[in-house]
Amino acid sequence: MRTRGDMLSFAIAFALMGARKLVRGLRQELTEEERYRVADDVVHQLKQYGDPWRLSEDLPPPGKARRSKACSCEQAI
């Protein structure tokens, strides 16, 4: 099962695909291995600060996402 930290790491690595456009002086794109190394380090650093994001918790099974009553789409209709 994947954890919240795994999902965050994947999202960061995906976002870093366009890093060449953002990082001045980066002449070529980061490799997939480099992107995941950076992403994993970011998650590791976040966990060092008490992990208020609960990054070590397992993700809920697909289709079992919690919905807040305040954000319910049915209430808006």
Q: Check residues 58 and 22 and name the one with the higher pLDDT.
A: 58
Give the pLDDT mean for 23-41: 88
pTM beyond 0.75, yes or no: no
Specify the length of the chain in residues. Answer: 77
- Cβ neighbours of residue 75 under 8 Å, at least 6 residues apart? 69
- pLDDT confidence band for 52 (50 / 70 / 90): confident
Under the banding of pLDDT at 50, 70 and 90, the label for residue 70 is low
Q: Give the tens place of pLDDT for each residue, 37-51.
A: 999 999 999 999 888
Euclidean distance between CA atoms 48 and 52, whole angstroms: 10
